[in-house]
Amino acid sequence: MPRDLTRPLVTGGAGFIGSALVRQLLGHPEVERVVVLDKLTYAGSLARLPLDEPRLEFVRGDIADRERVRGLLDLHAVTGVFNLAAESHVDRSIERPDDFIATNITGAFTVLDACRAAGVRLLQCSTDEVYGAIDAPGRFTEDSPLRPSSPYSASKTSADLLCLAAVTTHGQDLVITRGSNTYGPRQHPEKLIPRMVQCALRDQPLPVYGDGLQVRDWMHVDDHARGLIAAFLLGEAGGVYNLGADCERTNLDLVRELLAILGKPESLIRHVTDRPGHDRRYALDAGKARRELHWRPQADFARDFAHTVRQLAAELA
């Protein structure tokens, strides 16, 4: 049975993917109010949100604050929760793993527990990085073993396992999505694409880890947001759904395409020491989401990547 989308709570809604989700939710006529809970760390920005929208309610707070989370569910009669609040940058997780444990594990558990107490469905937004790396031509399915390689992916794996344990132990109504690398406008400049755009605009060296032949599957943020909503509405209780776009690129090829769009020379590329434990390739089999959620990516990479690069250039100029 489809779930109730009338009054959702989006944690991390001032983030890159979270804000795209908020905009998608506001486009659904049955949505009466969207409540956003965000701590507004360095990666969150109110500028990403349509704050003049009367159906949007923004609350600043930490998902690890049990009373705040439970109070919001009660106050706004929330009908479902999308948990997108997370520390997400792998390099930062290597340098400061404590922040990732606090938000991605303790915070995720707090949201999980509050949803169970309130009897509302939870969507836990996870990542393809929980699977680790896979050689071509293989692809991860939802049944693949979880083999995280970084503190970030280990923290997201921990949250996934807490969720799955709640399904087994309590019969809790939740779904988990595991998305591939996501691109689009309004992304923080610590991430690969906006960072490279920023360096290119300044004619500074573009740092590429190792040989740059790491492979990622790139999905547009609006497609990701649509997948989250589809999983919330149609996903089987306790189900896990991979969201991927079948759009593999090496990091090096991606950077070369970016430079060509901006009219900058490839001589700006600088190969730097690789990240510790850097996964070589991610690739998802998203067939389950296509079959059960009737979801598939709509973006055309050649068109939308170029559009994204130009939008980011305007934002970062």
The predicted model gives 178-193 an average pLDDT of: 97
Share of the chain above pLDDT 70, in %: 99
pLDDT tier, 2 (very low <50, low <70, confident <90, very high otherwise): low
The predicted model gives 137-146 an average pLDDT of: 98
**Assigned domain for 97 exists:** yes
CATH number (domain holding residue 145)? 3.40.50.720
State whether the Cα torsion 84-90-93-95 is positive or negative. negative
pLDDT tier, 290 (very low <50, low <70, confident <90, very high otherwise): very high
The tally of domains found in the chain comes to: 1
Q: Residue 178: what residue type?
A: R
The predicted model gives 168-185 an average pLDDT of: 98
Q: Which of 152, 183, 241, 282 is catalytic?
A: 152
**Assigned domain for 277 exists:** no
**How far apart (Å, rounded) are the C-alpha atoms in residues 3 and 82?**
13
Share of the chain above pLDDT 90, in %: 99
The predicted model gives 100-129 an average pLDDT of: 98
Tens of pLDDT, residue by residue over 233-261, are 999 999 999 999 999 999 999 999 999 99
**Residues 134/86, Cβ–Cβ less than 8 Å:** no
Pairing of strands 8-11, 34-38: parallel
pTM above 0.85, yes or no: yes
**Assigned domain for 290 exists:** yes
Q: Which of 38, 62, 87, 129 is catalytic?
A: 129
Q: Which of 38, 62, 87, 128 is catalytic?
A: 128
pLDDT reading at 306 higher than 60: yes
**Assigned domain for 258 exists:** no
pLDDT reading at 113 higher than 90: yes
Q: Length of the chain, please?
A: 317
Tens of pLDDT, residue by residue over 35-89, are 999 999 999 999 999 999 999 999 999 999 999 999 999 999 999 999 999 999 9
Q: What is the mean pLDDT of the chain?
A: 97
**Assigned domain for 316 exists:** no
CB atoms within 10 A of CB 159: 25
pLDDT reading at 176 higher than 90: yes
- Calculate the alpha carbon distances from 196 to 153, 205, 241, 310 in Å: 23, 9, 30, 12
CB atoms within 10 A of CB 75: 11
Residue 232 has a pLDDT of 98
Residue 1 has a pLDDT of 53
Residue 66 has a pLDDT of 97
**Assigned domain for 189 exists:** no
CB atoms within 10 A of CB 98: 10
Structural domain of residue 30, as residue ranges?
8-183+219-246+283-299
Residue 317 has a pLDDT of 87
**Assigned domain for 238 exists:** yes
pLDDT tier, 98 (very low <50, low <70, confident <90, very high otherwise): very high
Whether 129 is catalytic is yes
Tens of pLDDT, residue by residue over 205-216, are 999 999 999 999
**Assigned domain for 161 exists:** yes
**How far apart (Å, rounded) are the C-alpha atoms in residues 130 and 197?**
28
**Residues 10/37, Cβ–Cβ less than 8 Å:** yes
